[in-house]
């Protein structure tokens, strides 16, 4: 019995030791199995680098996106503990996605994450970072075309396309200049006029990094052949005799194709009395003798017209008086609808001949001779008409008046255009402009016909809306300032608009 008990005790003691060992190993995280011991390991996080890729080539100075994800079986998402390190730039930051720039060179990029048990996962990538090379923009000229010819006052279109790899479309940033006129403007598709001469046009565009490109083209702008003003002397009559005791009336008209009425610039000169005065009508008492009279006028382009004739001034000579002329209709500057009846009405009298109304002559610069007489009703062609009314007495002395009216084409569904301008402040001699009367806005359907029609605008306005324009037609507009003597300035630059 004692031996059996002893053996039994010994066996239990040995079993208890096994239990103790099992418990001890359990606390150490291991398991006894079939006489062996196996450790239960806590795995490291799983790390995946998404960007940049190993071996990729990047650009120095440009932002680079660093992206990776990390998961752990025990702790879940560890993206926020991902560290980024470069052997060239040092520690870059921490997180699942960061953005940094790298300096030029070969970078050994280390990406790692560690869980709370100290288990670490990492990846090492090689990156090649090269110096930044900016691409220059591209530029293509569309208009004006090379070797194109224009005339003075023509409106040229400046158009180009420009693009850049980094900045995209740069067409609106193109700047234009001329070797004759300097800076022209900026943009794509704008219009403007150039001075007379051969122009080398340069278009240039620059990107945000300072790289630029330019293209050139060449155009020629020819001067218009400007005719001299048309000068007509009405009085005195060549060869007539005048009384030295009475003032001689000097009267003439001067019209210029570009500047209109130049009566106020007519100069009068006598070889005996010298300079007599300036204007469309003056009076002067002359010395006895045969006078060689010179009347002349010069436009702003330097084109001169003159008339030379002789008159005799004697004591007690009989002097023929100029007839009087009064125009009642139409009103100067008035506008009339296309096809409407226009009334021509005027009266004329002469000291020697009496009533000369029946001898009044009406002439339009567009339609020619309209009628002869004091009253007539007619229709005129569309556009602006310069009406000249003239009466001549039996001695050949004439009096004349000229004025403009406009026949406006009526459009059932026409468009409109609004014209703006800047009010002038000086005369051409740089003196202050104090006698501005208003503006005349000319317009037509071509550059060569810009004065086909016109509207009058008073001096208090610097814009006008013109209605009744034909759809689908491109109109050209120009403005002149008019002083209280009726003198028109030079035409402004010409603007155009296609009526939609």
User: b/e for 170-192, b at 16 or more Cβ within 10 A?
Assistant: bbebbbbbbeebeebeeebeebe
So where are the chain's domains? Answer: 2-39, 46-130, 138-222, 230-314, 324-408, 415-498
Domain 415-498 - what CATH class? mainly beta
CA 222/CA 322 separation, integer angstroms: 45
415-498 shares the fold of 138-222:
yes
- Specify the fold of 138-222: Immunoglobulin-like (2.60.40)
Q: CATH assignment of 46-130?
A: 2.60.40.10
Contact 426, 432 (CB under 8 A): yes
Contact 70, 77 (CB under 8 A): yes
Q: Name the CATH superfamily housing domain 324-408.
A: Immunoglobulins (2.60.40.10)
Q: Are strands 375-378 and 415-420 parallel, antiparallel or unpaired?
A: unpaired
What does the pLDDT read at residue 410? 60
Q: CATH assignment of 230-314?
A: 2.60.40.10
pTM: 0.34
The series of mean pLDDT values per 10 residues for the chain, 500 residues long, is 35 36 37 44 90 93 94 93 96 95 94 94 95 88 90 90 92 94 92 93 93 93 84 89 90 88 94 94 93 93 90 82 87 84 91 91 92 92 91 86 85 74 85 89 87 88 88 89 84 88
Residue 488 bridge partners (DSSP): 482
């Amino acid at each position: 019995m004692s031996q059996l008990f002893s053996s039994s005790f010994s066996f239990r003691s040995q079993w208890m030791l096994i239990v103790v060992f099992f418990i001890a190993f359990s606390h150490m995280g291991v398991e006894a199995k079939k006489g062996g011991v196996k450790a239960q390991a806590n795995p490291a996080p799983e790390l995946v680098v998404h960007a940049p890729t190993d071996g990729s080539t990047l650009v120095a100075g440009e932002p680079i996106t660093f992206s990776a994800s990390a998961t752990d079986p025990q702790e879940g998402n560890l993206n926020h503990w991902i560290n980024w390190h470069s052997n060239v730039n040092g520690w870059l930051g921490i997180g699942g996605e960061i953005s940094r720039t790298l300096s030029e060179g070969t970078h050994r990029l280390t990406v790692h994450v560690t869980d709370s048990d100290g288990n670490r996962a990492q990846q090492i990538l090689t990156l090649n970072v090269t110096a930044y090379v900016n691409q220059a923009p591209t530029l293509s000229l569309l208009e004006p075309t090379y070797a194109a010819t224009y005339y003075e006052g023509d409106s040229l279109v400046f158009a180009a396309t420009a693009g850049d790899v980094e900045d995209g479309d740069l067409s609106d940033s193109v700047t234009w200049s001329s070797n004759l006129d300097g800076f022209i403007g900026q943009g794509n598709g704008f219009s403007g006029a150039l001075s007379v001469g051969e122009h080398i046009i340069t278009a240039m565009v620059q990107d945000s990094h300072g790289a630029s490109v330019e293209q050139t083209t060449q155009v020629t702008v020819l001067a218009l052949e400007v005719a001299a003003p048309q000068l007509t002397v009405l009085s005195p009559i060549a060869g007539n005799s005048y009384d030295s005791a009475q003032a001689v009336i000097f009267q003439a008209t001067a019209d210029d194709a570009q500047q209109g009425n130049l009566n106020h610039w007519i100069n009068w000169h006598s070889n005996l009395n010298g300079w007599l005065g300036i204007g469309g009508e003056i009076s002067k008492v002359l010395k006895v003798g045969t006078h060689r009279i010179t009347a002349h006028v010069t436009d702003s382009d330097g084109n001169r017209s003159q008339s030379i004739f002789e008159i005799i001034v004697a004591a007690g000579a009989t002097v023929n008086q100029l007839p009087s002329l009064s125009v009642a209709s139409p009103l100067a500057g008035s506008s009339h609808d296309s096809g409407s009846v226009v009334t021509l009405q005027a009266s004329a009298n002469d000291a020697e001949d009496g009533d000369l109304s029946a001898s009044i002559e009406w002439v339009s610069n567009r339609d020619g001779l309209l009628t002869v007489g004091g009253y007539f009703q007619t229709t005129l062609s569309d556009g602006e008409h310069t009406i000249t009314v003239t009466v001549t007495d039996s001695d050949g002395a004439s009096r004349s008046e000229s004025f403009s009216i406009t026949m406006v084409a009526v459009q059932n569904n026409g468009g409109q255009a609004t014209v703006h301008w800047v009010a002038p402040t000086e005369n051409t001699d740089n003196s202050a402009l104090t006698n501005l009367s208003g503006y005349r806005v000319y317009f037509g359907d071509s550059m060569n016909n810009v004065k086909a029609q016109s509207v009058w605008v008073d001096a208090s306005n610097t814009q006008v809306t013109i209605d009744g324009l034909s759809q689908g037609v491109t109109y050209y507009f120009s403005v002149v300032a008019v002083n209280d003597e009726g003198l028109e300035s030079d035409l402004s630059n010409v603007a155009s608009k296609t009526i939609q």
